[in-house]
Chains A and B, each alone.
Chain A
Amino acid sequence: MIHRRLILFGLCAAVLGLSAVSLMAGKVWVPLSVWLQPHNPLAAILFDLRLPRTLLAVAIGAALGMSGAAMQGYTRNPLADPGALGVASMAAFGAVLTLYFGAGAQQPWVIALAAMIGALSAVGLLIALAGDGSSLVAFVLSGVILQTLAAAGVALALSLAPNPWAKDEIITWLMGALTDRSMGDLALAGPLILAGMILLLTLAPALDALTLGEIGAKSLGINLGQTRLILALGVALTAGASVAVTGVIGFVGLIVPHLLRPLVGARPGGLLIPSALGGAVLVVAADITVRLTPGAAEVKLGVAMALLGGPFFLALLLSMRRRLG
């Protein structure tokens, strides 16, 4: 337990430390002393650009990390991620539709709203498709169906795009980024993410009990239908809201619980909070790296995460092969 507390403390310290660096770092270096000088011209960069960007990175990292841990716990599969339910894909599809029709270009909140509608309709479809009494396999398969349909929808929108600008906008948005986000984006996504995280945290005992399989959990008094509904809603709110304001950022929900499991123990309920902190650390760190990478254009955060994800899986495969001999 002391070990666990130490790691939680370390993760909190890392979130705070990296956030401080994130406020300072970029093409223009903003020292922390600017906080106390509201008339300094750098204050605008700090308060209008860096602060929302940093807070969003923390919120989205936490959302993706926790929903990943919840998904892995629920499916009892260390390779599951928030995308596995198709919720994130449906959110992306919703957003892409607004870009396709050109409505998203005028009002960023239209994109976010459409993404949230996509995420929540994914939940409805999931529950309708999988039914109440069905097994985990039916639930996950329904997620795969949604994911495939949403991906097809996105591809269709891209190929039928009315003009090159719409196509360009869709591609850029799909890559996922934290650039030029405002406090408005945070006000939109923050409460949704928070509500989703609270929902997921209430699932901790059910996720723990699912270690014994569905029958085991049921015999321990867990209501499986209710667990599934709360999970789907929680993932829709956390991952859906993240996609809504930043586009698609993958791998966080997959990598973070994986890395933390050996450190804080594999109990799925106990992995939720550490994964939220770990997700925040990863996204803030990645965002700082992206900003400091030299070059005319900034590498998109979603692209950077994907670049990180490939080698991570390679390392995972190698270590698994070594262990199995």
Chain B
Amino acid sequence: MEFAIETKDLVRVFKPSRKLLKRKKNPNGEGGSGEGPVTALDRVTTQIRQGELFGLLGPNGAGKTTLIKILCTLLLPTSGQAWVAGHDISKDPFPIRERINMVSGGETSGYGLLTTRENVWMFSQFYGVNSKVAKARIDELLHIFGLWDKRDAKVRTLSSGQRQKMNMIRGFVTDPDILFLDEPTLGLDVNASRVIREYVEAWVRKQKGKTVLLTTHYMAEADQMCDRIAIIDRGRILACDTPENLKRTIRHDTTFRLEVDTLRSASAFSGMKGVKNFSSKDDASKNTTSLTFILEDESAVSDILSAVQAQGAKIHYLQKSEPTLEDVFISMVGRGLE
């Protein structure tokens, strides 16, 4: 089996619930936006090799979690096919479940009355892990993730960072062949994120045949950890390659970053000659707008500066920089990830 994960033309459409449709028909109801069917995945085809640390990079609502749920056998695709560990996710879910695990960021699983150790042990039993083996693994992982002091603390007393470390231990205690990590460092401090990133990398690199599918919208995390990255937006995979190759796709372009007084409108930059794509983000606390431009022609900078000044905005800084994954994303999508 060459591929740990394979998908072919995977489509997932979420239809609105009957309740929502009813509310929409009722003129007094408060049926908001999004009442129609939503295509979360649109003909996603990808192949992830065994032993690969594969990243899925995209903004919120891009379809990352939907893809993971399908691959974890929690959701059926509307059409298309997917195989995990060589088994069809629609027809043969049980053998897949024995070989996978999943950890999501901000997860609140487990029972507050149980201790950290007991909670992880309980989940290991659902995978049939021998109790002695599970306890030894849990103790080892508690040390690695710096949670040993909290081994007998009730889960309800753990901080969110400690809880997320416990969730990671839950993911590794079953020793899966394929691990799905859905935004695992979401909301964590720098140290907790580093511990998790380092362990995940070591786990994949030091053992044969272990595969990780990581979703994130932290560019640096994807850049640092992943062998290959797929950029996903609105349910479509826009590009899939190594971080270096992805950055190389815009090497002929130039990236400029500006911080200026809050702009009234950024529409002046749309269609400007020499501008391939750009993103703008207002920071209300600083009263500024951050702009990132991907330029096909560097001379377009003067037009950009003129457009900024025409709005009476002061330029705080202007920087030419090396392309990052975020620039690749902006170049493809025309907006940032945040």
Report whether chain A binds chain B.
no
